[in-house]
Each structure stands twice: as structure tokens, then as C-alpha cells.
Structure 1
Amino acid sequence: MRLLLLAATLLISLPVSVLAAEAPPRERLSFNEGWLFSRTDAEWVLGQLDYANAKPWLLASAADFFGPTSPQTARPRGNFGGGFTHVQADFDDRGWRPLTLPHDWGIEGPFKQEYPGDTGKLPWWGVAWYRKHFDLPATDAGRRIVLEIDGAMAHSLVWLNGQFVGGWPYGYSSYQLDLTPYIKPGQPNVLAIRLDNPTESSRWYPGSGLYRNVWLTKTNPVHVAPWGAIVTTPKVTAEAAQVSIQVLTDNDSATNAALSLSTELFALDDTGRKSAALGQPITVTIEPGRQASTTQTLRVPQPRLWSVTHPHRYVAVTSITQDGRLVDRLETPFGIRTAVFDADRGFRLNGEVVPIRGVCNHHDLGALGSAINLRALERQLEILRAMGCNAIRTSHNPPAPELLDLCDRMGFLVMDEAFDCWAKGKNRHDYHVQFPDWHEADLRALVRRDRNHPSVILWSIGNEVIEQWFADGQEGWKLAARLAGIVREEDRTRPVSAGFNGEISGYNGYQHVLDAIGYNYRIKEYARFREINPAIPLFGAETASALSSRGVYFFPISDDKIDPASRADFQVSSYDLYAAPWATPPDVEWRAADAVPGYAGEFVWTGFDYLGEPTPYNADLTNLLNFSDPAEKERQKQLLTELGRIPTPSRSSYFGIIDLAGFPKDRYYFYQARWRPDLPMAHLLPHWTWPERAGEITPIHAYTSGDEAELFLNGRSLGRKQRGPGEYRLRWDDVKYAPGEVKVVAYKQGAVWAEAVQRTAGPAARLKAKADRRELTADGRDLSFVTVRIEDADGVLAPRAENRVAFAVSGPAEIVATDNGDPTSFESFQSKERAAFNGLVLVVVRTQPGTTGPITLTATSPGLAPAEVSLTAK
């Protein structure tokens, strides 16, 4: 372990200019273009490339992520896998498919009912290869060349020019490999990556492939170590903040390096950057093959604090010179803020109580799959922010780095999670297989990568791990203490927590080795936990798990959360009264939370629907009861007989507040009413187009941030109701359906606050299209999400329309996905046409790289007036 310590504490804010030097020698280049892809494996390998054989090579490539007490693995002699054709530089790959990363092969389908498990009915498992031919300038000779992979699903193995470099098993981890010993500056180079995504390795759709960004970083032999700048803010007041910058510098040259290090802090805003503080240079000499740690503490006067409402950011610019020449320059974004979990008051950000209004999200992007896209992530956060959401739990794995960058910029809090299981697994091939060898490296990699993000306020070491049920011993709290200790070695500025669904987890020792307890669905434990553990912070790590299909309503309704009448044809009624057996509707969760002093807030399961886990329609014979059509029920029985087992009937979840296409469900407005109490809003459900229900009881519910409301049916008052203690919705459960108009007028403190209307729709007559953004960047990555509504002649949404809509685009763009939010749809996401689901359909348009100009998207459907949207690529 390379280590040389040098600390210098400086409280300096004088505007000293940066040392003049040549352009920074550090380059970080996108490495996403020009890949070739194949699902064919090399010649029959007889398991020779399996993890068991690759293990010593992989552990050696991750040596920097194991502590001094961990077993150290030296790189074996030889060239692992070097004899296989696919890794050879001269292998003929001209027949392979060209593509640009990020790439998820699973989302391309096809959907198949017979695919096992609850992971989305898509073919995400198996072996695949990626190859890239590239040239490196001869001027890069002598530089250090590093490959950075933000995520590869899974068991990645990497060769360069036929030589094995390394890899990483966990598909969610970001990692880096030093290519320097194997690269050929001034000559052609070939990179080969093999992935092996095992079956039965996930409980949800994990995606596949090189699904996150890949980078090539070039530095001098003397350089800041990977993730080697660590910024903390040990003291923050309105008058001044102390900012500590620890820099780990590697000397990979053959001689001593006499260096001078300096760091300048800049405040970032929409107009650019402004110098905030500058430290005096520190001198240090590093021996060959060693690492030095230098620390500076700078004073920032009148700091602009990062918060969810004003996410002010800074950047630390570290410069290293050797013999008067700039040899490295690294920019490290950060924020200045205080974040404290308080057992008595909840969560405090910069001294103010901020209720956590969060959601859990899996990493897939709906119809786009798991392949990361910055705009798609940004759109999700925009939709959540409008609801009042201010926090994200990265369920249940390390997120894409871009998500944290967006949360920093947009003002979201983050519970950053590492694992879904520990040594005891939930699936045959899930993370428990790697846990003994890799938990330390994976956990350190997560914390080192993410510890400078001001948005990250919690580290989560696990979700619903089976070990939580053990009261003592190595399988119980001692293992949690071991993992928490690893996190604290890397970062002592944030609390360590986990998501616990066991009622004993708050009393069997876990509560004493963690810094805050997050309960999953244990609302009956809130009061008991607070009584027994009055000094330990408490929050809801995973709440609700309510179920609904957007725009679907079944009658009669009841308050039984698992009422069979709430489900039919593999849909769930959207009255928001229904939940999984272990879970609760939102109202029930809120009543329990509001009764507990110091409850810090919640992370709802989930913000968006996601691929896989189609509760309540998991593989179960009782699903046959959900078919109302006798012929369809008989067909399904025949299918079960032919398959010899029971298939899962749906592709995606019903948990989301927002459906898979990004369309808000009724529940969205329920949370908005609670999370944005100052926003004048009201929402009515169900829709009011029920020609078959004339004269039948059709209950009406209203969500509002007001405190009372009056309901009108065709101008006639049906009564004014006031929300009482523990009531979060207003209900008129005895309304008899009559076509026309339903209107609610909400009041707050006696004054009119907001109104909402539902009108009976006539026959579908036209399409109406609206783009979330009309001006796009011509980079081949930017997206426009276009919503198409089916309306009647008066512009009222036809809430039960299922008309088929076809799309066409002209100009420098392409259609990359369509969806409608229907969890039972098995139509390809790449289809250029799709049936609407309850009046709505989505089409996603992507720009072409380097080509600007006007774009026209056209939507057509037989018998309906078409719609057109004009976009521009700039």
C-alpha cells in the first residue's frame, strides 16, 4: 500500500492568481463511439472464462480497494484468456454489429411470456462481446492511459491487444483499469470486453451490456489518484466555511517526484465560475511507486450553501507542478452544506428541518432500458420535482454517476445504496455469490466515487438483507458493523444506514452499529422504536408499495388493500386504496408517520414503474382468476399446460406513482397534495366517462392541498367536506353516475384555493401531441419525449381509448422508443406504432450526431385527425 502523509492547514482567502502554466495535461475522453457487438461467444471455452478461473486476476486488478488487513492477491503469471480468438487483435469482427454506447441488449427483446422469473420478460442474461478498434497518438507515449467503465452488466473481462487487463464482477460498480502496460501509442489498438450476465441473478430487470458510459483518461505518470480528491466541509456558518481538500497523488514514474500542489475554489452559477478561495502551494516529494496525501483547509467567506431549494455548487481545482511544469490539473465539484439526522427533529439541512419527501427508483429508464441517458434521467427528476419530491433512494445498487450529478445540480437528496443482499442470497446467482470476495472493494468503490456529492446524505449498506433476522454472531449485527466500518474508513461525514423490513432489526444490535434506522413497511414499529431507542434517528427507507394501473378503475371499491375486486385482466384499480399484502396505501403510512416525533421522512416504493416485479401478478395460479373473459382464461390455462409451469403475465411493476412511460397516475396528485402544501391544487378521480354505469354508485375522491372542498355534479352540490385529523383525501362514496361534468372547489382557511374538473368524453376524434422540449442538441444523445393524447371533438381526453397510433419523423432525428404505460403490453419498445393505453401514448425522438435542422414528428391513427410536432436540432 503506497502511503506518504503530509498535512498542511491554511485559512487563506486572498485572491492569488493560479500559477501560469501550459494547458492541463489530464484528458478525459468519451469512449462510447465505434464499438462492435456480438452475442456469439468465442470457440467453446468449457468454462475457462468463468469467474472461478478469472477470480485471482480480477482481485489483483482491484487491489487498491482492499484494506491493509484484507488478503492481498498478486497478479498471476501468464495471460488469462489470451488464447481465445475474440480477444486477438487480428480477429475478423467485420460481421459484428456496430453501435454506440451506452447499450442494453436486453431491452431490444423480444418479450417472451415463457421467460422465467419476474424480471421483465426480456432476454437480459447470457454472454456477449464488445470490441473497439482505436488509434492512440504517438505523442501519448509515456503517458498513463486508464479505461473507466461506469457500469458493465456483468462479470466483465477486459483484454487490450490480446493481453488480459482486468475486470469487475458486480454490474453496478464503476471501475478503472490501467491500460498503460498493454497499449501501443502511434499504432492500432483493439479492446475486447466479455460480459456474462447470469440467470437468476436479479429480482427486477437488471439490463445488460456496457449500459453506462465508458471513458479514456490520459495523465502523466505523476497524477492525482483515481477518485483521489476528497472535499469535506468541517465547519460551516453563514459568515464562513472551512473547506478541507485531501489530495492523493501517485508517482508512477521511475524517479523521485518533487512537486508543488495548490487548490483554488470557485463558486459555480449559470454565468460561469468565480474564485472563492486559494490555498498556498504545498511542496512534497514522492518516491517511485508511492502515494502522497496532502491536505489543505481553505476559508470561504459568506458561502453559498447547497440546499434542495438553492443547490449552489463549487468546484475545487487542484494543480500539480513539477520543475515548474504543470503535470496534472483536476476539477472536483462539491457543495457547502451541513446535513444532520436528529432523533428529536428529523433531518436538518443547514440547520433547518427538511422533511424527506423521497422515492425509491430502480435504474431502468422504461422503454429505453438500463442504457443510461442524461436527458431521460433529467426528465424523471423534473417530473418528480413537480410532485414535490426532494429525495432519491438508489434502489438497490450503486447508481449511474450522472444521476448524482443531476441531483447535485437540481437539488435532490440521495440515499446511496450498495447492495440488495449480503452473504445470504435471494436468488441463486445474485450478489451473495460475490459477497465474500468483493463486498469490500465494491463498497469502497461506491464511497470513493460518490463522497464529494453534496446530494448524498446517507450511505445504505443493504436492503432487506436476510442477515437482519439474526440477533448476534457473524451473521447478525457484527457483519453490519464490518460493512459500516468500511464506509466510515472512506467517509466519516455522512451517516450509515440500511433498509430493514424485519420488526426485530431495531432491537437486535443493528441499531447500535448504524447511525440511523430506515424501516421498510414496518409502520407498527415506528412508535415502539422511538420509545426504546429515543436517541437514534428514524425514517421510512421504503414505504407504501401501493398498487395501481394508470386510468383503470374497478367497482365496487373497498378499503381492503387486497380486495380481489380491485383487480382484473392483470390491472389494478387506481383508487389508491390498494397495496401489496405487506404494504400500505399512502394514507395509512402517513397516519403512522405523523404520530411519531422526529420521523425524518420517507422514500416511497416507487417513484416510477419499472421493468420486472409485477406484484400482484407474480407467477401464481391465482392469476388466472384475473381474466374476466372466459375464452382468454381458457387460453391461459392451455398455455400453462404447454409450458409445464406458470408464467408471469406482466412485464412491469404497478408500484409506481408514475407509470413506465412517465405519465402520472392519480397517486401522483395525492403525494403532491401532501408534499407541496403551498401549491394550490386539486385532483379528481375517477374519470367521468362511464356510459355503462348510468345510475350506478361511482365513488368520487379528491386530492387537494386545501383543507376542505365541495363537489358538484352537473352544477348540483353533492356536499362540502372538511379533512379531519388523520384524513388525507376527501371522499364522496355514494355518487350515482350521470354523464356531464364533475367539479370540485377546494378551500383553504375558508377561501377558494383550487378547482378541478372531469368531463364525460365523446367519441375519439383527434390526436394531440406535445413535446417536453422542442429545442434539442444535435449530439446523437439528446431526446424529446412526445406525449400523444386521444381527444374528443371538444378536446376532452378520451380516457378509455385504445386506438393504434403510428409515428413518423423527418429531419435529423430518429424514433428510438414508444410506450403507453400498460404493464401488460408485450409490444416491442422499438416499434414505430403502438396502441394507446387509456388515451395516452408516448414516443421518444433522438437527434442525430452533428446534424442540425428542423425535425417534424407526425402521429396518425385511422379515423382520427392527425397530430404534428415541430422540433429543432441545434
Structure 2
Amino acid sequence: MKIRYFLIFAILPFFGFSQNLNTIIPLNGTADFEQTENAFPPQKFTRKIPVPGLIDLAEPKIDQYDLYFSGQHQPRYNWYRFRFNISKKDANKYAILKLLKSRYNTQIIFNGQDCGQYMQCNTPIDCDLTPFMKAGEENELLIRLGERAWLPKEAATGFDREKYSDIPGIWDDIFIEIGGPIKIHRALVLPNLKEKTVTIKTVLENYAKILERNMEYSEIEYEAKAFLREKKTKKIISGTAIASGKIQCQQAQKIVFNFAMDEVHSWSPEDPFLYEAVVSITSQKLFFNNYGNKESIRPSKKYAWEMSISDTKNITFGMRDFESKGKDFYLNGKRYNLFGSTLTLNRFFEDRDRAHLPWDREWVENLMINIPKSLRWNFFRVSIGLLPDFWYDLADQHGIVIQNEYLMWNLRGRPSQYKKEYTDWIWADGNHPSIIIWDAL
């Protein structure tokens, strides 16, 4: 893999003249909803439910509505139904479902086909829908949720002794990314304020299933590009780093970009200045392997994704350093006092007056930003469970620092699942400058 750096003065040279294949289908809003006593889909859906949210928000109310808040309900299967069209122009592309947080035992069925079951409740689910996608037609996505008690023994989940119920639900954003075969599966920006450097770590995923004549998976050549800019003004502050290489179908590959900055505007609660890293991947062509035979002829078949932008990610970050020395904390090299309180959203979930408030942006901004700022607070401990992603975005934008605590109290599950979920947790939340302390237990 080769990495090259170029100076740029406008956005156009970065993308060149490659066609952009990306389409986003948002599924937030309202979905059909129903419950069943067995594991099979309902014959009909009689309720509507807001997404994101928890199942008590369904209308008309679910049968055991009152019992869910005390944890005395009889377990049921919970079914969400999404119907949407996929454009004909998206035929021969790749469709990946992104479900940021969902609980419990998330089962995904797309156009009648089982796409897998997932035990994680606090980290993203990525599901390949491509084999069953119907371009130019209506598509049906069913998501079945179970109960916390049904989680497998491997599941990384603690036990909160100070709450009664665990209400299921799709409790963060859900959407479908449609694009080329190589996706930016994960991206993490690591700023170093003292050294004035930025490192971008990415994981590429090749979703294609193209076989060679020896029945091994083929490789696809790619070009990845990255640059930095100010988030608000979009002013570009770096050159473009370019990495080229090839990745085998159904495999993942890591790429690291490094940048040195001449001038740095630090992030702090008093001045929450944000930057943005823009990363793009172009799927160029199928790599031709002649297996040592110089007379081999490259196949003439062309793919719709060749020389097209396969995926793009805009990653928000802030330039800040945080460390502890003795009994003191230091932010950006200066001693810093933390004033604030604790947020226990997962306990608020069992409050029957909670309603849809945790997903009401105006309410959250008052709770987390406006009122604390009026009290001269700058800090929250997010206790025994994470938050919907937009809460962290608000903290980044307005300047609140966070101790981020995983939903783990009294260990349950297997170390292999802890490792997977904690790794995904860092990749998912690690770009937020507001998160200064990571609390795994």
C-alpha cells in the first residue's frame, strides 16, 4: 500500500471527476409495529412506533403497557416493519444496514430472507442486505427484538441492581448506505494537540463476492483519500493524503493517514472549536492475477462501480489533550476542574413519564447544555449505559465533557464478546472530543 500527500486549495481536486455512488436511505421516523408470542412474523401490523425509541411508545399501546415499567410483563417478540423503495439506478450496488443501537437479540429479515441475529445492545450493527435488494421496487425490512432475559450467555451485559425493567427498542439511528463494494467500515481520528498532529485510522471492508477462476475471492484495486478542514467554515487546512492498494473480496484492511498541522485551534468547553476529516474511497477495478502465465488475458467484463467513489465519511473531531497528574486533571496542558452531575439514561428509560424525551433534540439540549451551562457546569458522568449518538454531538458542539461509562455492572458474558463490543465502542464514540474518560466497568 502506498500513501502520498498533495497540497490542495479547493474541494474539487479531492474528488476529481469520479462518479459518487453513495445513497443514504434514512429509516428514522415512524415504523409499523406488532408483538407476537412466538418467533414468527405477525400476520398483520396494527400499531405504529417512533424510531428511534422504545416499544412502550407504540400506538395503540401494547397489551402489557403498565407491566413493562415494573419488569413484570410476560416476554414477547417485538416486530418493526419498514417499507421503502430503492431506485433503479442503485441496481448492482451494495446495501449495508446501519443500526447504531438496538436491544435485545436483534434479528434482521430483509425481503423475507434471514440476514442474521446480533447480541450487542450498545454498539453498531452492520448488516449486508445486498443479496436480497430489489432495485426499482418496494423493499421490506423486518427487525425482531426479544428480551434481555433471552440474551445468549456470551452477551456482554452487566446487571444494574437499582432498576426494575429493561424495555426493548431501536434506540438510536437506523439507515441504509448504498454504494460501491469497498466501504469505510470504521474511521477514528486521533488528535495530538501538543505535537500538532492528526492520525486517521480506517478499516475498509470489501463486500463484493467476485470469484477467481481458481475459486478464490478476487481482489479490487482502490484509492483512498483524506484531508482536514474546519467544520463550520469548510476551510481546508491540510494537503490530501492518498493511499492506493488492493483488498480481497469479503476481507477487511486497515489504512492509517498522518497529518501535521501548522496552526491549531484547540477544543475546550469554553471554546468548542471543531474540525472535520473527510475520507473517501474509490473502487477502481478488479485486480487481474495471471497466476504466472504471461499469456493470460484480462477478462473483458466491466463493473458499474469501476472508477467511482465507493464511500465517503465526514468525521467530526476536536484538537484537545486530556490527562491526569496526581489528583488533578489537565485539559490542553492546563489544570482543569470538572463541575457537574451524573446522567443515568438507562434508569430513566423505565420511568413511565419518560415518553419520547430522550430523542427530543430540544429537550436534550436544555437538559445537557443550556441548564448546566447556566449553572457553570462543564461535565457529566454518563453512568451505567451509553447515550444516543446525537447527545454526544451536542456535547461536542456546545462544550460539555463526559465520562463515558459502558452498561456493565457485575460482569456477565464471555471475554471474547467484551473485547468485540469494547473495540466497536471505541471506534463508534472515539471521535467525540467531549468524551475525556472511558469507563469500562
Q: TM tier, shorter chain? A: 0.7 to 0.9
Partner of 1:303: 264
Q: Name the amino acid aligned to 2:428.
A: R
The reply on whether 1:176 has 2:126 as its aligned counterpart is: yes
In 2, the alpha carbon distance for the partners of 1:292 and 1:121 equals 44
User: Are the aligned partners of 1:38 and 1:97 in contact in 2 as well (CA < 8 Å)?
Assistant: yes
Q: Determine whether 1:246 maps to 2:242.
A: no
Q: Which residue does 1:208 correspond to in 2?
A: 168
- Residue 142 of structure 2 corresponds to 192
Change in CA separation of 1:30 and 1:285 when aligned onto 2, cut-off 3 Å: same
- Give the Å deviation of 1:336: 0.9
| Corresponding residue to 1:160 among 95, 105, 110 | 110
Report the CA distance between 1:232 and its aligned residue. Answer: 1.0
* Kept in 1: contact 2:200–2:256 (CA 8 A): yes
| Cα distance in 2 for residues equivalent to 1:369 and 1:85 | 26
1:343 equivalent to 2:303? Answer no
What amino acid maps onto 2:429 in structure 1?
A: D
Distance change (3 Å), C-alpha of 1:379 and 1:371 = closer
C-alpha distance in structure 2 between counterparts of 1:114 and 1:378, whole Å:
29
Unaligned runs of 5+ in 2: 151-158, 211-217, 285-306
Q: Deviations over 1:519-550 (max 9, x none)?
A: xxxxxxxxxxxxxxxxxxxxxxxxxxxxxxxx
Q: Distance in 2 between matches of 1:39 and 1:322?
A: 42
Q: SS of 1:18's equivalent?
A: helix
> How many Å apart are 1:285 and its aligned residue?
2.3
Q: Which residue of 1 aligns with 2:389?
A: 401
Indicate the residue corresponding to 2:16 in structure 1. 20
**CA drift at 1:348:** 0.8
In structure 2, how many angstroms separate the alpha carbons of the residues matched to 1:179 and 1:38?
A: 23
Report the Cα distance in structure 1 between the residues aligned to 2:74 and 2:410, rounded to whole angstroms. 23
SS in 1 for 2:16: coil
Instruction: Provide the secondary structure at the position in 2 that maps to 1:158.
Output: strand
Q: Which residue of 2 aligns with 1:541?
A: none
Alpha-carbon distance in 2 for matches of 1:125, 1:380 = 33
Structure 1 residues 256, 196: closer, same or farther in 2, change over 3 A?
Answer: closer
What code does the residue aligned with 1:39 have? Answer: Q
Instruction: Say whether residues 1:331 and 2:314 are aligned partners.
Output: yes
May I ask how many residue pairs the two structures share in their alignment? 391
Q: Matches of 1:341 and 1:395 in 2, distance apart?
A: 20
Is 1:30 aligned to residue 26 of structure 2? Answer: yes
1:389 and 1:110 map into 2 onto residues whose CA distance is: 40
Structure 1 residues 395 and 28: CA distance shift in structure 2, 3 A: farther
2:187 pairs with 1:232: no
Q: Which letter does structure 1 place at the counterpart of 2:205?
A: D
Aligned twin of 2:219? 256
How far the C-alpha of 1:182 sits from its partner, in A, is 2.5
Any conservation in 2 of the 1:106–1:123 contact (CA below 8 Å)? no
Change (3 A) 1:401 1:111: same
Query: Where does 1:656-671 land on structure 2 (aligned, <5 Å)?
Result: none
Residue 279 of structure 1: CA displacement? Answer: 2.5
CA deviation after TM superposition for structure 1 residue 358, in Å: 3.1
Deviation at 1:125, TM superposition (A): 6.1
Indicate how the Cα distance of structure 1 residues 267 and 171 shifts in structure 2: closer, same or farther if over 3 A, else same. same
SS of the equivalent of 1:402 reads: helix
Greater RCO (CA < 8 Å, at least 6 residues apart):
2
Name the residue aligned to 1:440.
Answer: 419
Q: Decide whether the 8 Å contact of 1:150 with 1:212 is kept in 2.
A: yes
Structure 1 stretch displaced more, 368-377 or 177-186: 368-377
Q: For 1:417-467, what per-residue CA distance to the aligned partner results, in whole angstroms no more than 9, with x for missing partners?
A: 1233243xxxxxxxx2x44563222222211101111111111111xxxxx
CA distance in 1, matches of 2:62, 2:21: 46
Structure 2 residue aligned with 1:379, among 349, 366, 370? 366
Change (3 A) 1:207 1:294: same
**In the alignment, which residue of structure 1 is the partner of 2:337?**
355
* DSSP 3-state at the match of 1:159: strand
Show the counterpart of 1:828: none
Which residue, out of 240, 250, 253, partners 1:289? 250
Q: How far is the alpha carbon of 1:37 from its aligned partner?
A: 0.7
C-alpha distance in 1, partners of 2:31/2:63?
Answer: 25
State whether structure 2 residue 421 is matched by structure 1 residue 458: no
Contact 1:41 1:128 (C-alpha < 8 Å) held by counterparts: no
State the shift of 1:343 in Å.
1.3
Give how far 1:169 is off: 2.7
1:678 alignment counterpart: none
- Report if aligned partners of 1:34, 1:99 keep a CA contact under 8 Å in 2: yes
Contact 2:97 2:129 in 1 (8 A): yes
SS, match of residue 275 in structure 1: coil
CA distance in 2, matches of 1:126, 1:389: 42
Provide TM-score, normalisation by structure 1.
Answer: 0.41
Is the 8 Å Cα contact of residues 188 and 200 (structure 2) preserved in structure 1?
Answer: yes
Q: Is the 8 A contact 1:37 1:130 kept in 2?
A: yes
Output the CA distance in 2 between the equivalents of 1:114 and 1:190. 31
Please name the residue that 2:54 is paired with: 104
Residue 211 of structure 1 contacts residue 371 of structure 1 at CA under 8 Å; is this kept in 2?
no
CA distance in structure 2 between the aligned counterparts of 1:169 and 1:456, rounded to whole angstroms: 25
Name the aligned partner's letter for residue 143 of structure 2: I
Output the CA distance in 2 between the equivalents of 1:148 and 1:393: 27
Shift, 1:411, TM fit = 1.0
Would you say the 8 A contact 1:207–1:369 is kept in 2? no
- Secondary structure at the aligned position of 1:399 is classed as coil
Partner of 2:239: 278
**Which residue number in structure 2 is paired with residue 583 of structure 1?**
none
Residues 359 and 140 (structure 1), Cα distance of their counterparts in 2 relative to 1, 3 Å cut: same
Q: What one-letter code is carried by the residue in structure 1 that aligns with 2:178?
A: K
Question: What CA deviation, in whole Å up to 9, does each residue of 1:48-75 have, x standing for no partner?
Answer: x5xxxxxxxxxxxxxxxxxxxxxxxxxx
More strand by share: 2
CA contact (8 A) 2:86 2:134 kept: yes
Whole-angstrom CA distance in 2 between matches of 1:436 and 1:246:
25
Q: Which digits, 9 at most, give the CA deviation of each residue in 1:711-749, with x for residues without a partner?
A: xxxxxxxxxxxxxxxxxxxxxxxxxxxxxxxxxxxxxxx
Structure 2 contact 2–244 (Cα < 8 Å) conserved: no
Deviation at 1:148, TM superposition (A): 1.5
Q: CA deviation at 1:199?
A: 6.3
CA distance in 1, matches of 2:180, 2:22: 7
Q: Which residue of 178, 182, 202 maps to 1:222?
A: 182
Deviation at 1:350, TM superposition (A): 0.6
Task: State the secondary structure of the residue aligned to 2:271.
Answer: coil
**3-state secondary structure, aligned to 2:136:** coil
Post-superposition offset of 1:111? 12
- Aligned equivalents of 2:65 and 2:236: distance in 1? 59
Structure 2 counterpart SS, 1:409: helix
AA aligned opposite 1:212: D
Amino acid at match of 1:336: M
Matches within 5 A, 1:582-601: none
Letter in 1 for 2:26: S
Shift of 1:413: 1.2
> Counterpart of 1:353 in structure 2: which amino acid?
R
RMSD between aligned residues:
3.1
In 2 relative to 1, CA 453–171 (structure 1 residues): closer, same or farther, beyond 3 Å?
same
